[in-house]
Each structure stands twice: as structure tokens, then as C-alpha cells.
Structure 1
Amino acid sequence: MVGLNKNILRTILIISYIMVIALIISGVSAVFSYLNTGADRSTMLHTEIQKETHYLPQIHWAPLKNEGRPMDSENLNALQNDYLNAWYVKHIAYKTNSKTGLKDYYTDSARKNLYDFIALNKAEAITIEATTLTHNPRLEFFSEDGQMAVITDRDVVEFKRIFKANTLILETTETATYNIVFLLEDGFWRIRHLVKTATQPYQNKAKTVRNDSLNIKGINYYPQAHPWDMFGDDFSKETIAKDFKIIKDAGLNSVRIFVQYEDFGKANVKPEKLEKLILTLDLAEAQQLKVMVTLFDFYGDYTVMDWTLTQHHAKQIVSALKHHKALVAWDIKNEPNLDFESRGKANVVAWLNHMIDLVKKTDSIHPVTIGWSNTKSATILKDKVDIVSFHYYEDLSHLDQAIITLKDKIHDKPLVLQEFGLSSYSGLWNPFGSTKTNQADYHKKIQEQIATHQLQFMSWTLYDFTAIPTAVVGKLPWRRETQKHFGFINENGTLKPSFTYISKP
């Protein structure tokens, strides 16, 4: 018994010894790890923000011809990252009147000026929402010891809104030039001096694209089996090719398709999605169909701090498609006026205005439009767009006067009735709805008005759908069932009576 107790005691001592050694080793490893991550930006950044995710202005460096020591690409990338981070944390600080993150990217003396400005704004109940959209830096000097750099940043495009007591008092876009001195401290390129040397109002040089030969006779398109998920896992070029042939044979010449912002990867567009989008235009070209591409479907942020991400997204899409023969026009956003109440009309319109400029700067050939949900909103930014587009799901008896009023306001701009249609659902959830015969009569009458007013048009939509995502119309069954039956072809592939009037009265 005594021997057994000694063995138990010995085992306990050995286990305890091993545990103590393990704890010591673990502690030493943690200290070692801590000491070796002192210069890691991701752990040091107190703002809990990453510029790669939240801030992507366009930046174009001039060729390196600086005085002093030549700068290698690794140092240049580090300088660029810290420079853009400095702008971003300053935007956050001015919006919130807080000092968060500033010490990581500004030296002590530079921070004093920022802190004084924040204190003044806070006392006056002033906040600033701002972002920079474009930078054109040139490296002027890089010291021999690698501890100091000087750059000049020309034609910096800045958008800002100034609020006093939550009331907007100024909104402006300007172009400025800055001289900046950096010091390398603790692995960070911190700004020592940032001086604005010139400022002028921003001037958009993009001109209106005239296309008087434009004659859109088209339809909004989703594949029947997976509407609102056209470029997903079920993407089928055979299905799209078959549908495009139906559309062409019906006497139409164009389709409108939708690029969903999140589905395509937001700021960093997914290559596989872009490949499917290009293939869709290839299939349209094979049928001699033109394509209107609607950008930013299901996007609804519009905040100033999000602008650099959306412009990064748009530039990738537009750059990839702008030379495609099937492309006929860019539609910036589908029914953005429906976001006026929830997001603020001023926010939405300012974002649209900027995005028009961005798209036109990237593609100076193809016309730009906005898919307004009604005629009342269609005059907004009428002088910026090349085509005025509107949707109409209201009483047909008011359409004539609505078109006359709209034409009087937009003068000589091309006008496109970009969405219209009538559901043929009259079942359990809507017993007093329209029938297939009512739908055919509707399309006959609206095509007569289209002919009278010489409108270009794109109807909604080719197929009845068997399923509608809740994100489109919500969960209410009477709304979902109604939305399923706007097509000219039913769920079984049979032509409905309305198909007779898909392209003519």
C-alpha cells in the first residue's frame, strides 16, 4: 500500500512538473510573439479599420525621378498605404469629431493642428463628411537614410459635406494640390506636414454622348429558372442563347441585364462573375442584340465613405465591357428614387452624380442613363445623363400626359420607357387581379402609345417565374405571386396572348 501511494505521489509530481514547464514555454512564446508583432499594422491600428476594405481612391503615381535616394517598390507601397490610411482616419475623425487612429499616421506636431480643428468643430457642433476620390502623387525627395520622404499630390478630387447641428450647410467637390512631408517612425510613414497649396472647383470634362440613331426596342431579361441570380452557379450559356434567339425572333433588338453589387464582389469584382457577364454580351452579339447593363443592383448605402469602393467596382465593370460591340448603354442604378426616404434624397443624388462622372470618364463612347421608377423623378440629373429613362406601372390612362410633361422638361434628350408590364395573376392571393387576356390588352394599348410618342422601350419581362427571392418583393404571398406572372411566356414555356404585342401594337 505504501509503495502504491509513493507511485501515485511520484506521478502527480511528474505531471505537475510537466504542466509548469508547459506554462513557462507558453508564456515565453507569447512574450516573443508580442515583441515581434510590435510593428504589425493590423495589430497596432487602434481604429479597427482596414483601408483595403473601406477606402480605395484612385491613385496614379508619376514616374519616379526624385532627388536623394532612389525608392524601391516596397518602400513606395508602404508609403502609399500609410498615406491613404492617413486620409481615411482623418475623414473618420472629422466625421465623428474624435481623435481615434490619428496618432498612427500623423506626428506629434501634425496631430496638434488636427486636434485643435476637431475641438473647434465639436464646440461649434460642426461635422464633416468627406472623401478623396483621386490622387496623383509625385515623389519629390527620399532621404539617404530612408527616414524622410516628400511628395506633391496634384489634382486631388475631394467631395465633402459640412453639417452644423446636423443641418447641411455646404456640399462641394473640389480639386486641390498638397505638399506632404513624411517621417518614418516605428515602422509607420507618418505625416509631418500636409499643406494645401491650391484649390479650385471640380470640373467634369465628360461630355454628353449623342446617339440620335439609337432605337431601343427591347426587354428586361432574367433566365426563367433562376431570376435575380443570373450569374450564379446555375449560369447556362445554352439557356441564355436560346432565350436571346426568342427575343430576336420576336422583333426586338436589345435586352437589359443587371449587375448586382454584392453578388459581383463589391469593390473587388470576382473574375468568374465578370467572365459570365462578358459571355452574356457575346451571346447577345451572336443574335445581333444590344445590351443595356444596369449597374449597382441591390446597392443601397450611398454614404460618402463608401464612394471609393463603388467607384472601384464600377471602373472594373466598365473597363471590361466598354469595347464590346453588343454594349449599347450604361444604366447607373435601378430605381434609386425608391431609396430617397430611407437613405436621403441628397445622399442618393450626390452619389449618382459622382457615378455618372466616373462611368463617363472610364467610357466616353456609350451613353449613360438612370432607371427611375416614375416620370416625376426622371428629370433629376437630366442634364448629366445621355438618355432619360423611366418605369411605368401606373394607370395607362395617365401615361399620355405624363410623357408630354416629361418631354417638355427634358427637351431633346432621348426618352426610354425602360420598364412596364402587367401581371396576369388572379389567383387565391389576388382574386380580382388581371387575367392573361387583360395582360394582352394592356400590352396592345401601351404599344400604341409607344408608337404615338415614338418612344424607345424595354418591357418587363420575357418569362413568368416559378420562384421570386424574398429580397425582391418580401415575404408577402400576394406580392410574390403577382410578381411571378409578368412574363410573355408562362412557366411551362407556352406563349401567352400578350406575346403578340411584345414588339408592336
Structure 2
Amino acid sequence: MNWNRLLIRIVLIISFVGVNALILFGISSVWSYLNTGADRSSRLHLNLEEVQTYLPKVVWDTSRVEGRPIEPRTLAKIERDYLNGWYVKNTALFSNNRYGVKDYFTDSAQAKVSKILDYNSSNKSSFKQTTLEHNPKLDFYSADGTQIYFTDTNVELYQEAYDNGVPILEKEETTSYKVIMLLEDGFWRIRHFTKAENSEIRQKQAEVLSDSIQNLLKNMKGLNYYPQDTPWDVFGKKYSDSTIAKDFGLIKNMGLNTIRIFIPYEDFGAAHVDGKKLEKVKSLLDIAHENQLMAVVTLFDFYGNYDVFDWTLTHRHAEQVVNALKEHPALLAWDLKNEPDLDFNSRQKSVVMAWLRKMHEKVHSWDPKHPITVGWATPEAAINLSDKLDFISFHYYRDISEFKSSFDKLKSSVTDSNKPIVLQEYGVSSYSGLWNGFRGSDEYQAEYYKEMQSILKEADIPFLFWTLYDFTQVPNSVVGWRPWRKQPQKHYGCIGLDGKPKPAMKYLTQE
């Protein structure tokens, strides 16, 4: 009985202490809130990660400002809140939801946005849009630092219209806006926002490829490159200059002149490209140049979103890569995306094509000197954008007997008969095992290349075969985990796991 009383007393004491601790914690939290003010991120219905999905290019002109001079830190805050205003408006136009609008628009501006949303909602309409570039010219900054006026010139806007969830229209426009923003509660809100007459639309001049580049494209003989020990991870922690130099020496001795390399989107930091990895790419290109090899750089590998709301992130990725590499003497061409046609069904062909068209336009604006292509997965898909791309690239892993007819059909579909058409990926595995009925062999692979190289030589078709080495490991992200797909993928090389040339090497070596 005494033990029961003691146990009850202990429970009561612990409960009393616990309740008082909770009361003190609540009081301290209220005190802290009253002294520090509410965190704006908790009031905004969009978290920081979501806001970071919108990164259009912004170039300010502050050369002629009436009023007080603008401080860089203030300008950065204004840009942040202005872009956040665009972001929440873009999101609201698609979802017809007002979350976040009050945080970046004054009461009068909110009323205008609400009127648009009410109209869209009543008509079951919505719009998915993004802006790609802003060029604000700062006109006025008040002496008390609470008002700002600027003209946002040449705003690139892309918009998709939906009727009851069904896409009905896509539109691009370049326009300007007159904007007034007010400082309220420590944050800049949009007070006035109207379209202005746009008199500064920049004309895009087409660049003609030089004869020397055209000749390089038409005489392309090479391969898609991965080191044997680090396939699909060339620029990771195990990157080795000595390994690259050894491999490129082998490629040169084979009489080849071109390599194709890949920039994995997420692995390189997506919109915030890893500078250290870019330095490794430059190092690889240096070694390629030393070995008289040119490089086709594929800007997007392992990327498959294409959504309008993702465009500014992919543009920042491509812009950083292109600007970092465009002056390198080993750079031959840009490949916008590896096999985007494989995403036509899952992402909708219209969505993928819109992304490619705009990416082509942007890459060309950043680097008008180097040719641009797309690595289509099939010859049938390669007709897409054939009028815009500088050369056509396609992959072929089907029966060799159908190749020539497929190529001829593609060639006849391309309106410019002088435009180079490159067989950018092809090959056959020498794997022999349970998962292919023991039908493969080194000799079978050699016979494939003997026949294929004869066709390519006779038709004078530029080529990049797949690939230099057999691999011990293939990531699941490449072909999935299924062994009947994964095991054959390990044996496409013309050099075996033992480091010795396979019989196919004889037919891939150029005189």
C-alpha cells in the first residue's frame, strides 16, 4: 500500500513539473514572437524552395535615376519582391488561387488581380505562364526610400491557355511594363503594373555556319564517351586527368576525330551549376584539344520535366554551361537534349517541343557561333525542328537491314539538302547470357560493325558509335533494374573488361 502511495505521488509531481514547463515554453514563444515580429515566410503560402523554382534573367539599368541613388542591397530586395510578385501571380493564374497575392501587391493592385482571377474562374479558364527575361530601367527612387518607379523593358513572356483544363493555345510575346512599388511593413509591394508601348524589341540575326564548321560536321567520326570505371559519372569524385588522357590517346590512334559528352542536369547542380564540375569539363576539353579531338556537348542528360514553371531553372543551367565553355577550341557543337522524343508520351509532345524551341533560341543567343542539334532517339523523330537546327542527329539501335531505308526517308524529309545528318548513337552489345538466349558474342558484334561501317562509308554518313568500353556497372537510372536490359548494356564497348580490344575494334578504326 505504501508503494502505491509513493508511485501516485511521483506521477503527480512529474505531471505538475511537465505542465509548468509547457506553460513557460508557451509564454516564452509568445514573448519571442512579440519582440521579433512574424516571419514573412510563415505568412506567405509559398516556401523558399518553391520561390527558387523561378529564376528569370534580370538585368537592371540604373544609369539615370531621379531622386536618391539606389543602394545595391535595396535593389536586390526590390528585385526579389518584384520577381516573387510575378511568381505568385503566375501561380494564381494557373490555379485560380489567391495564396501569396496579398504579400506582394498593395490593396488596389490586389483588386485588379482578383478581378482577373474571378473572370477566369467563372469561365473555367486558366493560364500557365512564365517570364524568361526582364530588363528593368530604374526611373525614380524617392528621397525617403519608400517608392520606386521603373520600366521593365523587353519582358519575354511565354503563356499556355487552358479551357476547363484542356490546353487550347500557346503564345509568346515580348513587351514592357511600367511598375510602381511601395515599401510597406519592410517589404516592397507592387502598386501599379501596366503594359507600356514596347519600342526596344531586339532583332535576332541569323548566323551562318562557317565552311570549316560545316566540314567538321560532315566529316565527324567518333564515339560517345564514358571512362570504363566511371560510366555516367565522368565528372564525379573519381575524375582523373590521366584516365582521360589515356582514353583520348586510344581514340586518336583509332583515327577518330570527335567525342560526345554529357552534362547530367541534377548532378551538375541544376540551376546553380557546380563550378568545380565545370572546371573538370574544361580539363577534359583541354585534353581533347591536345589529342586533336572535337567535342559535342550534350547540355541536358537525365532531365525530363519540361514544364513551363521549370523553364527559368533550365535556362540558368544552360546559360552557365554555355558561357563557361563556348570559347574552348575543342568545342564543336551543342546538343540540347539527349533523346527528348522518349518523353513525348509521358510529358506530351507539345510540352517537350515548346521547351526545345525556346532552349534552342536561348542557346543560340548565348553562343551564335557553334552549331546546335538535338539527339533524337529515332530517325523518325529527327524530322522535328529540322528547319531550325544546324545539323540533324539521330540514334539507331534497330535491325541493320532497315537502316538505309530509314536514313533515306529522313534525308528526303529535310528541306535543306546541304544540312548535315549525323548518326549520333548506334551499336550492338556482345553480351551472351540468359537474358538474351546466349545469342550475343564478340564475333556477332564485329560482324555488325563490319556491315554498318560499310554502309556509313558508302553513304558518307557522319557517325558517333556507342561506345569505347565495356562496363562492370550500369546505374539503374540509365536502363532500369531489369537484368534483361541492364546486362546487355554493359557490353557495347569495342574494348573489353580486360582492357583488350574486341574484334569490333578492327572495323571501327579509321584509316
Change (3 A) 1:21 1:394: closer
Deviations 1:240-286 (A, max 9, x none): 11111100000101111111000001110112211111111111111
Matched, 1:120 2:119: yes
Residue 199 of structure 1 and its aligned partner are, at CA, apart by: 6.0
The equivalent of 1:406 in structure 2 is 410
Instruction: Check the 8 A contact 2:153/2:198 in 1, yes or no.
Output: no
The equivalent of 1:151 in structure 2 is 150
Matched, 1:454 2:460: yes
Amino acid in structure 2 at the alignment position of 1:311: H
Change (3 A) 1:181 1:19: same
Which stretch shifts more, 425-434 or 123-132?
425-434
Give the gaps of 5 or more residues in structure 1.
Answer: 1-8
Matched, 1:172 2:171: yes
CA distance in 2, matches of 1:206, 1:135: 23
User: Within 5 Å, which residues of 2 pair with 1:92-111?
Assistant: 92-111=91-110
Give SS of 1:213's match.
helix
User: Within 5 Å, which residues of 2 pair with 1:100-499?
Assistant: 100-198=99-197, 204-207=204-207, 209-210=209-210, 211-214=213-216, 215-410=219-414, 411-499=417-505
CA distance in 2, matches of 1:49, 1:124: 32
Deviations 1:317-345 (A, max 9, x none): 11100001111111010000000000010
Residue 36 of structure 1 and its aligned partner are, at CA, apart by: 4.5
Amino acid in structure 2 at the alignment position of 1:299: Y
Amino acid in structure 2 at the alignment position of 1:100: Y
Give the gaps of 5 or more residues in structure 2.
Answer: 1-8
Instruction: Check the 8 A contact 1:58/1:134 in 2, yes or no.
Output: yes
Give SS of 2:159's match.
strand
Instruction: Check the 8 A contact 1:227/1:468 in 2, yes or no.
Output: yes
The equivalent of 2:5 in structure 1 is none
Give SS of 1:439's match.
helix
Instruction: Check the 8 A contact 1:147/1:184 in 2, yes or no.
Output: yes
TM-score normalised by length of structure 1: 0.93
* Aligned residue-pair number: 499
Deviations 1:273-326 (A, max 9, x none): 111111111111111111111111000000000000000000111110000111
Residue 23 of structure 1 and its aligned partner are, at CA, apart by: 5.9
Deviations 1:15-43 (A, max 9, x none): 99998986676445422432344364333
Instruction: Check the 8 A contact 2:56/2:132 in 1, yes or no.
Output: yes
Deviations 1:387-409 (A, max 9, x none): 10001111111111222221222
Change (3 A) 1:372 1:150: same
CA distance in 1, matches of 2:35, 2:380: 61
Which stretch shifts more, 424-433 or 328-337?
424-433
CA distance in 2, matches of 1:440, 1:17: 83
Change (3 A) 1:202 1:122: farther
Give SS of 1:212's match.
helix
Instruction: Check the 8 A contact 1:105/1:191 in 2, yes or no.
Output: yes
Amino acid in structure 2 at the alignment position of 1:244: F
Amino acid in structure 2 at the alignment position of 1:152: T
Change (3 A) 1:23 1:342: closer
CA distance in 1, matches of 2:167, 2:424: 34
CA distance in 2, matches of 1:208, 1:404: 26
Instruction: Check the 8 A contact 1:461/1:487 in 2, yes or no.
Output: yes
Amino acid in structure 2 at the alignment position of 1:500: K
Amino acid in structure 2 at the alignment position of 1:287: N
Change (3 A) 1:24 1:134: same
Instruction: Check the 8 A contact 2:426/2:464 in 1, yes or no.
Output: yes
Change (3 A) 1:463 1:148: same
Change (3 A) 1:433 1:388: same
Give SS of 1:497's match.
coil
CA distance in 1, matches of 2:450, 2:385: 32
User: Within 5 Å, which residues of 2 pair with 1:21-40?
Assistant: 26-38=25-37, 40=39
Instruction: Check the 8 A contact 1:37/1:43 in 2, yes or no.
Output: no
